[in-house]
Amino acid sequence: MHDDRQLIEERLQRALRERIRPAIYGAAVPLDIKVWHAPGEPVPPSEALAASYEPAEIGLAWGPAWGTAWFHFSGQVPAEWAGAEIEAVIDLGFSGGPGFSAEGLVHTTKGVPLKGLHPRQTYAPLSILGPDGTAAAAGDSIEFYVEAAANPEVLGYNAFAPISSDMGSKPEPGGKPIYQLTRADLAVFNAEVWDLILDLEALNGLQKELPKQEPRSREILRALSRALDVLDYEDVPGTATDARAELTDVLSRPAHASAHQLSAVGHAHIDSAWLWPLRETRRKVARTISNVATLAEEYPELVFAFSQAQQHAWVKDNYPEVWERLKKAVAEGTIVPVGGMWVESDTNLPGGEALARQFVHGKRFFLDEYGIDTQEVWLPDSFGYTAALPQLVKLSGSKWFLTQKISWNQKNKFPHHTFLWEGLDGTQVFTHFPPIDTYNSDLSGRELAHAQRNFAENGSATRSLVPFGYGDGGGGPTREFVATARRVANLESSPRVTIESPTEFFSAAQEEYPNAPVWSGELYLEIHRATYTSQAKTKQGNRRSEHLLREAELWSAAAVVAGKLDVYPYEELDRIWKAVLLNQFHDILPGSSIAWVHREAEATYAKLAAELEAIIGKAQQALAGTGDAQIVFNGAPHAREGIAGLGAGITVGEGPAATIEDGVLDNGVIRVTIDERGLITSLYDVAARREVIAPGSTANLLQLHVDTPNQWDAWDVDSFYKNNVRDITEVDSVEFSTVDGVATVVVKRSFNRSSVNQTLRLRPGAKRVDIETSMDWHESEKFLKASFPVDVHADRSASETQFGHIFRPTHQNTSWDAAKFEIAAHRWLHVGEPGYGVAVVNDSTYGHDVNRTAREDGGTTTTIRTSLIRAPRFPDPQTDQGVHVVNHALVVGAGIPEAIEEGYRINLPERVVTGAEGTDPIVALDNGNVIVEAVKLADDQSGDVVVRLYESSGGRARTTLTTGFAAGSVTEVDLLERHLTDRELTGNAVSFELRPFQILTLRFTRA
């Protein structure tokens, strides 16, 4: 037989485009249109419905960017349409994909939300267009409203190019309309034509994935040709049934016995902010959940996974009618809460306690509102996954983990799709990466075939999960997707597809694959590495908030327990924590959202800082009492200047004053030489009799790179950035001074359109150089780093992560090593050789790179570079323009314990309060490797004291914890403060042993 495959495929595509799809709707009558243009930010339906509406018509220009128009539609259903399927068809001028263009929400005349509208879902069925959302019939009058959101196409045809301020910033009044209303009709829906389209597309998608010579492929092709032969283009609705009959045989053949099994879960990945502000996400959630609830009425088999407790809370707080539908759908199992976190957060950047609180607040919401203890952690789109997660997953009471993002790796294909992920403490969690390589599947033949071929566990396991539905900007599954799932449920040459819940998938997958392979350590994402640096003020606000929250809880608990404060600020802290957790969403904290989002985050952090400072100040003053003494509060877990960790008192001196002579700073412990360029040319450790700076090198060298990634500007730094570097050695001035025993050097530099002022300080008794860097930054597509080359032979670096640290190679032996050319560290990064090490600590930066080079003298130079600031153009063309102040310290002669201590020091500076007395620590430990991360009162407001601690060195630790209050009993609890194990209390002390990096949460009753 001659090969006419291309001829048939091209014939089919044109027939679908020009003949069949236009026939989905038949007879139509226009709706009457009125409009009210909201003057500013969105308003509640009650206000919108009470506004004055003006007559309008098709072609109306509406909606400046981020504006809202309310449309009033009315009409009468023709009586002669009795028995037909009838829908209102509304096209607001849709241009981009769902979630990235205009969107709408249909309301009743009383303002009750009914159903969302987007470019792939432009209809509202007659069954919801009667009075108050009831069914209407032929001959009836209908009337409804649509709240239309003029969301601009930020990621448009010229992707990653700089966007205008009216797209990325909160708009000023009076912008130009960006959309036109293009259709508003009542129309007859030709269901048989619609079914024919789905039949054709399912089969054509399947046959394209099969080997061209395979009989099944040719059989499908012949059936498609026959269907087109019997279809009358002048009467598509009248001949659609005949055309479908030609496809019955090829559609009815069952799947092979060995076919891959796909668990299909409805999904609408809704970024809590990204190319839209938080306020728009609230509306996206309402539109999506309205869609899902309406769709489930027609397709009862639908199961929809809905993550992010914050988004559930938005529905509860803002859309009471949608909330009732949501609760009903959850009770019926149609909508399934998943994830167990407050938002789908970034996991590289949040601190340990913050990441724990993501689970605390997320899981507790689902328990309180639905009575559901979620078991799967659902993070399809975060930018890499910390090795601390498996232990936190287990301690939250969850047992499964899902992501898809690792399929984005640039260099190395991850070897598993189903496996046991082992965290840094040894905890393992059953993990799945959907091999379909998307969390927004359309269940097309191409995607289904890819999932089956791609599944790394073929031969050992048979199951994978596919999240289907429009996402990122929301939207969710459509009737087309669910109907497609029915067609491919049991289809020859295709995987079997079953719509079911994530719990059903994970239970079956774990049962059939009990000996899954193990992956140990972090899940490093080989892309989006610049998210460790972009939007410095957002990251700084998060870091500061985390440590202020630590202090607010610690000192408030201490004051209440001591009887010096009557009320613990439960409600205030709960609200503040949730605000901080929201801004840890994986497109806010990483710095990859539009300007509006980040300016709003900065304002939020400033407001929260003021509130937390007030809470801290009130508690500390209560503890200090009234007097004239200078009481120093130490919120860090280690003693400083004679003040116990977590305690307060009067400090003792640090040691002899530091001096300056001929550019040499000397405190008797270390000597630092600064040259005429303001660079560190020598750092001598007196006790170790060792030069720290590598021969021929200079430290604290600013290096400016050209930074033009291929795409994803705010997200990515590509490895070729290193090929173009400029050492900033020019200096405007270098000034030396000594104030209060602190030797100080102020170095001022200017380059291009920017300036950097650095203040280097050597304090009495310190084995560190403190570096304060103030940047007035006005570059474009540049990347600024600070370099510290040290004379240390290190084949790996240690980076602080949540509740511990991880090691990464400094070499590039393998492609996996080479891919980690930019890495994340929290408060410190350490390099060392046996007997000696150096650390760089920071108060608000995360990105680093560490490399080593061999010298002619046979030695090794290990260079730590900390990433200071970037200047990407998309999605915020003004990213990080302006003034920024960050602090670092170069710590010499440091092991990992010293790195940990200095990391806490720089982030938790002492506080001085005028008062009468200090206070003993609320809890104390006798092993310095065990770190107290949080002290608080129990969330149930019982007054119990909760202490979270962890082993920090990576070794086993025995310790005794002694309370500074009379304790009645102690139990080990999970993150949600639920009982796990009884512990023995001896007096006010409890002894225990921890495995490496183990997290332990203890709950004490008060006697």
Residues designated catalytic:
381
Whole-angstrom distance, CA of residue 575 vs CA of residue 663:
50
Least Cα distance to 325 among 300, 294, 298, 301 occurs for 294
Question: What 8-state DSSP symbol labels residue 501?
Answer: -
| Cβ atoms of 289 and 306 closer than 8 Å | yes
Question: What 8-state DSSP symbol labels residue 20?
Answer: I
CA 109 to chain centre: 38
Per-position DSSP letters for 715-773, written without gaps between them = T---GGGGGSEEEE---SEEEEEEETTEEEEEEEEEETTEEEEEEEEE-TT-SEEEEEE
Whole-angstrom distance, CA of residue 722 vs CA of residue 797:
20
Whole-angstrom distance, CA of residue 630 vs CA of residue 636:
18
Whole-angstrom distance, CA of residue 675 vs CA of residue 729:
11
CA distances to 90, 112, 188, 466 from 141, in Å: 17, 18, 16, 42
Amino acid of residue 231: L
Least Cα distance to 670 among 652, 700, 691, 649 occurs for 691
CA 518 to chain centre: 25
Whole-angstrom distance, CA of residue 641 vs CA of residue 639:
7
CA distances to 156, 714, 753, 900 from 162, in Å: 11, 11, 19, 40
Question: What 8-state DSSP symbol labels residue 19?
Answer: I
Whole-angstrom distance, CA of residue 71 vs CA of residue 41:
16
Token pair, residue 365, equals 């919401």
Q: Can you say whether the dihedral through the CA atoms of 403, 516, 446, 501 is positive or negative?
A: negative
Whole-angstrom distance, CA of residue 86 vs CA of residue 791:
77
Whole-angstrom distance, CA of residue 563 vs CA of residue 938:
17
CA distances to 775, 800, 888 from 868, in Å: 9, 18, 10
Name residue, tokens 């920090």: 952
Whole-angstrom distance, CA of residue 167 vs CA of residue 597:
12
Whole-angstrom distance, CA of residue 53 vs CA of residue 60:
14
Phi, psi torsion values for 941, nearest 5 degrees: 65, 25
Least Cα distance to 452 among 260, 625, 582, 293 occurs for 260
Question: What 8-state DSSP symbol labels residue 161?
Answer: S
Within 8 A by CB and 6+ apart from 843, the residues are 540, 543, 827, 886, 887, 888, 906, 907
